[in-house]
Amino acid sequence: MALPLAARRRSTINYLRKYWSLYAMLSIPLAYFIVFRYIPMTYVQIAFKRYSIVQNVWEMPLARNYGFEYFIRAFSNRDFLYAVRNTFMLNFLDLVIGFPAPIILALLLNELPFRRFKRFTQSVAYMPHFLSWIIISGLAVQLFAPTNGLFNVVLRRLGFNTVPFLNHPTYWVFTYVLLGVWKNVGWNTIIYLAALTNINPELYEAAAIDGAGRFQKIRYITLPGLRPTIVTLLILSLGHILSSEFDRPMALGNSLVHNVSNVIATFVYTYGIRGLQFSLAAAVGLFQSVVCVVFLMAANALAKKFGERGIW
């Protein structure tokens, strides 16, 4: 059947002589993944253990209630419950408002007949994507300043009351979502515009001959053409409904809006790294990671059930 042993060994030696350098190259990134991604996964166990500074992770004693002490504590912590609610609420609003926005913009850009103007619009609209949330927060603090910011000055000149955009919980949520759209709407059109170029132009010509108007073309050609892209991105967004951004609420939040700006990631930072309650914060982090994976898998399964391609 197979080659004789000596021949097989010779082929192994030949293989290694040819490809050892590939393994040598790969060993560096693999070491990176083991040290910085997989070893931390073993540290997840401190969520179930009583943290002690003098012991290593494996030796720490199990926490009470079969190790679930810190999960119980988290779920009886008001701050944490608020954080879960806020994470869900902000992501949900981002999904409802921030998700359709680039689709609409891509459709508009696609209909725009002035080519150079279109390219200019795109260039300008992509720009905010490259500003950090800290910078955006700096811009926002000036733009929305309660007494002398541009928006409030204009509002006052028009005879309206000033609006505490960043200092009142309700308005803050509105500003938070709006700034998210501002940062990402242009950039996120790229993926849709790329998908639009794959639509066969003959479809539009045929539709025009049949007397289809602009809206009918969008309804029956453009949107179905975008469908796979939309579904893929929707799965990813749904999968991330309980994952939280850190930079954004950190940069935009302040003490006046803490009860809406406090999300899971900021909770972990405040309780774990600032408050040194490692076990509690690790339990919260683990809860979030597990929920994220479950949501992602559920969203993927749902998409496949509806006959879409899914993400894996």
Partner 1 sequence: MVKSKGTKAADLVIAFICVLLIIACLLPVLNIVARSLSSSEALIKGQVLLWPKGWNFTAYKLVLGDSKYTWSLGWTAILTVICTFVSMVMTTLCAYPLIYDKLKGRRFFNTMILFTMYFNAGTIPHYLLYKELGLLNHPLVLIIPNSLSVFYMIIMRSFFYSIPDSLRESAEIDGASPVRILFSIYLPLSKPVLATLSLFYAVGRWNGFSDALMYMNDRRWHPIQLFLYNILKSVTSIEVATQEGFASAPGLSDTLQSATVVFATVPILLVYPWLQKYFISGATLGALKD
Nearer to partner 1, 64 or 309 (CB): 309
| Nearest distance, CB of residue 81 and partner 1, angstroms | 19
Nearer to partner 1, 44 or 203 (CB): 44
| Nearest distance, CB of residue 92 and partner 1, angstroms | 21
| Nearest distance, CB of residue 232 and partner 1, angstroms | 5
Count Cβ atoms within 10 A of the Cβ of residue 248 and give its class: 0-12 exposed, 13-18 middle, 19 or more buried: buried
Alpha-carbon gap, residue 128 to 136, rounded angstroms:
8
Nearer to partner 1, 94 or 264 (CB): 264
| Nearest distance, CB of residue 267 and partner 1, angstroms | 10
CB 107 within 8 A of CB 218: yes
- State which H helix or E strand residue 120 sits in: helix 115-126
* Max intra-chain CA distance, the chain: 93
Nearer to partner 1, 85 or 258 (CB): 258
Q: Which residues contact 237 (CB under 8 A, 6 or more apart)?
A: 94, 95, 99
| Nearest distance, CB of residue 107 and partner 1, angstroms | 9
CB 252 within 8 A of CB 137: yes
Nearer to partner 1, 123 or 200 (CB): 123
Write the CA distances from 123 to 23, 95, 128, integer angstroms: 42, 24, 10
SS3 114: coil
